Every structure is written in C-alpha cells, then in structure tokens.
Structure 1
Amino acid sequence: MSTLSLLAQHVTRRPQRIALLEQIAAQGSITRAAKAAGMSYKAAWDAIDELNNLADQPLVARSVGGKGGGGARLTPAGERLLQLHQRLQAIQADLLQAAADDADLQVLGRLMLRTSARNQLSGRVQAIQPQGGNHLIAIELPGGASLQAQITRNSTAHLQLQAGTPLMVLIKAGWLQLSRPDQPPDPGLNALTGTIEQILAESDGPCEVRIALPNGQTLCAQAGAEQLAGQGLVAGSPVRAQFAASHVLLGTQV
C-alpha cells in the first residue's frame, strides 16, 4: 500500500484533519481554515506538522505570519490526498454496511495506532548492523537525511525489518537537544539540522520549538527560554537537533 493511501486512511479516521485540508484549499489561511474546521490555531499547526512528517512529500505549504495569521496552500500531493480520501470514504461506507456487528468495529479500532511521541516521521530502512545484543538501524528520511535507531534483535524480528522497509520514526520532544550548527556536534548522537520556525512560550514549562527540516518535515523540541537566549536561538535561526539512537522508537504497518 502506498504512503498516500496510508495517509488517506489516517485522516479518514480523524475527520477534523481532512476538514482542515479542505478549508486550507478553500481559505488559503491557517487561521481561517482552523476556525472553519473547528480547531485551535495551535492544533491546526500540529496537525499540519504531523501530516507533512508522515508524507513522502509535504501536503501543505505554509508561511508564518502571513495574511490571516499564516498563509497556506495544498501542494499537489495534498490535492491528490483529498481526491483519494473521497474514494476511500465511498469504500469505507460499503465496508461498514458489511460489518457483522459493533464488536468487529471495536476490534478494528483497537488496531489503530495512537502515540504520545510528539515527533512522528516517515522513513525507510537503509541498513541493519549488529551491535552486541542489539541492532543499529540506519534510516533514510524523505529528501535524503538519515538517522540511526538502536533496538533489540527481537524487535527487529518482530517488526520484520529489512532494507527498504517503510516505517514510522517516533521521537519525544523532550529527547531533542538543541544547539547552533556552528558548535561542535556530539559524534555519538543523531543530528538533524533545520531552521527554527516558531518558538511558543509556555507559562508553566519549557518553550515549544518548531524546527523546519529541509525536506519539509517538522520537528518539535522543548527547551528553556534561558537556554535558547543563551545560544542566540530565535525564530529564523539555523539549529541542530541531536538525540541518542536509543531514544528513537520505530513502528511499522501491521
């Protein structure tokens, strides 16, 4: 099954997100689209981040602070997703009519994955290298960036991983360490470089830092305001996000 088909199923299970895409196409504004879809501005940005991260190509092209609080438009991939969603809705209606009873639908519902990890990126296995009792999984992200995940050999077998296997990469926001790209990196950590898109201050905790990667995916990190100020990291700054291979969680389609 193609990535686009999987994404169409994902948004079908979360109707607000397909409504958001429809409104972005109609409104050309994140603020107006979020309001029309019944979402907060922040929830709309979060949804766009997740959809862009899971796609091989970004579904939404956006600009911060544009007319109406942020301009946005669907990419050709986003337009194809909407068309595919319409076809899947018709198929879904037929399947629901054929379902034996509500218990069958409950079982299907339990099989749908939800995760608390803030960062969910699509990727593909490049190579698998033995490392003691573990495996070091080399992963390629869309656009050519790469990272590594350290998992047990049993996990490799359970996920049926091999070169070329598509997967979901999960990284918690609190596991990302931010620094300026001109500072020496930690060679023992994964490193992804991008540009700070937004810094959202929280009244009772660390700031939420959105990082735009060159491939169109977005990372979300947490950092203290003093830490950011001390490194001169502001919106528009280049930034490096580092994290341990052992902090990368992997998931595959059942």
Structure 2
Amino acid sequence: MTPPPPLSHAGLAGALGHEAADKRLDILRRIGQVGSISEAARGADVSYKAAWQAIDTLTNLAGAPLVERTVGGSGGGGAQLTATGLQLLDAADTLATLRQQALAQVAQRHAPADGVAPRLAALSLRTSMRNQLPCQVVALQRAGRAMQVRLRLSDGSTLVSRITRESAELLDLAVGSEVLALAKATAVAVLAAPANGSALPNRLHGTVARLARSTSGDEVVLTLACGLQMVGFSAPGLQLKVGQAAVVVFDDAAVVLAIGG
C-alpha cells in the first residue's frame, strides 16, 4: 500500500493551532482507541453531534480525511483513524512536548508576577464559529472604508469577505496569502439547489451530509464540492434530505478572516 503523503505545513499549523489538550484532538485520539465516534463522544463528555463537529473542523484544517467509517463486524461497524489521522496525533504529541519545554524555559526566565507564560498559553485562537474554511486570497478591492477580499477554495470556487481596510492592513493581506475564512452557522442559510433567487454575494454548492430536524428550521451540514463541510440553517418546512443537492448562501460581512501566527 502506498504510504499517505505527509501532512503539509499549512495542514499541521491549522489542525494543531491549539495545545494538545484541545477537546477536538482528545475526541480524535479516543476514536483511535475505541473505534467508535459515539463511544469517543461519551468518553470525552460531549454530544455525538459535537464529536462530528470536531472531526469536520480538524479535517478541514488538516486538508485530508482523518476518520473513516467501517462496516460489518459484531458491532455492526464503527470508525477508525486514517493514516493521516495517526500522523496528526503523532505530531500533536511531539508539539505538546516541545510546547511544555518552551513554556518551562520561559517560566525560568520570568518571575511568576510577570505573567508571561500564562499569556503565551492563552494565545491560541479558540472560536465558536463552526465554519472554518482554508482559502487563498486572489483579489483585494477597496469599497469605501471597507476592503472586499476575494478568496478561493481548493476546488477553485470563490467567496468574498468584507472587512475594514485597517483589518486588511493588520493582517498584511496580499494576493496569494493563505487565510482561514470563518462564519457563524447562524449566518449561513441553506437552500435547495439551484437557489437562483438569493441576492447574497456568497453561494457555495454541495450535498446534504447530515440534518438535525427542528420546527424552527433544520440545522444542515453540507459537504461542499471541494470536500469541506459547512453548517447552516434551512427555512422551516423546506425538508431537505441527506444526499440532496443544496446551496449555502451568506453575506460577505459574515465572513471573518484569520491567519496563522
């Protein structure tokens, strides 16, 4: 069997941007130990849905599948880590050791009252935004006091973020910059394809992967054409189905940009 390609620098930086105690890595590690997403969720004291969110986010950031479903057997199937998932955990262990060594060295050079080591430990980005898409900047255009940033996903599809010009400067954005596009799930509407009536500037096509039904509108996980996942909400009564073609639409002002530090 051909060995998997090593994780890219961008994939490692994105997926391991937090310390190894990150709950998402804990869930991934537990899946490798017990061979079940539901059991891993229980062991990590999170819901099954939250466990899937962790898998989707890490997969997006790593740029390769980390978990694969298995079928058959006495338990009726389960899940196992891919070779890339195992690589990621090995890298996480290495980084955790190096991180602790670095923090110990900082603590030796600074008095506890300085608070330097605690501040370093808190620098990692944590966000409630469930949609996190690795992109590349392909164009920047001034629009009054704002800057419109056109972004390209790995399959060539594009989206737009509208941020302040000051933010664009502080991020040092330029054509070719690698960024992370973030959007709250509540800012993303999911429509049945082709959804030609929407006036929102961002439209990404995909297939419904999972649903959580609700009388106020279903929460929908969509697998985009590029393989990434997006989460949004459909209108009450739309009744999308798993496997159905759908479109996510969202405003350019709803897209927040982040870069690795």
Contact 2:67 2:82 in 1 (8 A): yes
Supply the AA of the counterpart residue of 1:251: A
> Which residue of structure 2 lines up, in the alignment, with residue 23 of structure 1?
30
Contact 1:56 1:142 in 2 (8 A): no
2:159 equivalent to 1:147: yes
For residues 56 and 148 of structure 1, the distance between their equivalents in structure 2, rounded to whole angstroms, comes to: 21
Displacement of 1:47 in angstroms is: 0.8
For residues 64 and 137 of structure 2, the distance between their equivalents in structure 1, rounded to whole angstroms, comes to: 18
2:221 equivalent to 1:214: no
Displacement of 1:18 in angstroms is: 2.2
Q: Deviations over 1:204-254 (max 9, x none)?
A: x5432111123332111123442x23xxx1222111011111221111223
Displacement of 1:45 in angstroms is: 0.8
- From 27, 46, 49, give the equivalent of 1:39: 46
> Which residue of structure 1 lines up, in the alignment, with residue 81 of structure 2?
74
Q: State the TM-score, normalized to the length of structure 1.
A: 0.84
- Bigger shift: residues 9-18 or 136-145: 9-18
Contact 2:64 2:84 in 1 (8 A): yes
1:110–1:86 distance in 2 versus 1, CA, 3 Å: closer
Gaps of 5+ in 2: 1-7
Supply the AA of the counterpart residue of 2:147: H
1:92–1:209 distance in 2 versus 1, CA, 3 Å: same
For residues 46 and 75 of structure 2, the distance between their equivalents in structure 1, rounded to whole angstroms, comes to: 15
For residues 218 and 44 of structure 1, the distance between their equivalents in structure 2, rounded to whole angstroms, comes to: 14
Contact 2:15 2:62 in 1 (8 A): no
Contact 2:37 2:48 in 1 (8 A): yes
> Which residue of structure 2 lines up, in the alignment, with residue 128 of structure 1?
140
- From 168, 171, 176, give the equivalent of 2:188: 176
- Bigger shift: residues 55-64 or 237-246: 55-64
Supply the AA of the counterpart residue of 2:247: R
For residues 67 and 171 of structure 1, the distance between their equivalents in structure 2, rounded to whole angstroms, comes to: 41
2:246 equivalent to 1:239: yes
Q: State the TM-score, normalized to the length of structure 2.
A: 0.82
Aligned-residue RMSD, C-alpha? 2.8
1:248–1:62 distance in 2 versus 1, CA, 3 Å: farther
For residues 196 and 145 of structure 1, the distance between their equivalents in structure 2, rounded to whole angstroms, comes to: 18
Contact 2:13 2:260 in 1 (8 A): no
1:61–1:67 distance in 2 versus 1, CA, 3 Å: farther
1:175–1:16 distance in 2 versus 1, CA, 3 Å: closer
> Which residue of structure 1 lines up, in the alignment, with residue 198 of structure 2?
186
Contact 1:148 1:190 in 2 (8 A): yes
Gaps of 5+ in 1: none
1:96–1:240 distance in 2 versus 1, CA, 3 Å: same
> Which residue of structure 2 lines up, in the alignment, with residue 250 of structure 1?
257
Q: Percent identity?
A: 33
Contact 1:57 1:142 in 2 (8 A): no
SS of alignment partner, residue 143 of structure 1: coil
- From 81, 89, 100, give the equivalent of 2:96: 89
Which structure has the highest helix share of the two?
1
Displacement of 1:137 in angstroms is: 0.9
1:163–1:234 distance in 2 versus 1, CA, 3 Å: same
Q: Deviations over 1:111-164 (max 9, x none)?
A: 222222221222121221233332221111233332111122222111110112
Displacement of 1:11 in angstroms is: 5.0
For residues 9 and 30 of structure 2, the distance between their equivalents in structure 1, rounded to whole angstroms, comes to: 25
Displacement of 1:52 in angstroms is: 1.8
Q: Deviations over 1:22-62 (max 9, x none)?
A: 23234432112323444321221111121122222233344
SS of alignment partner, residue 142 of structure 2: strand
> Which residue of structure 1 lines up, in the alignment, with residue 17 of structure 2?
10
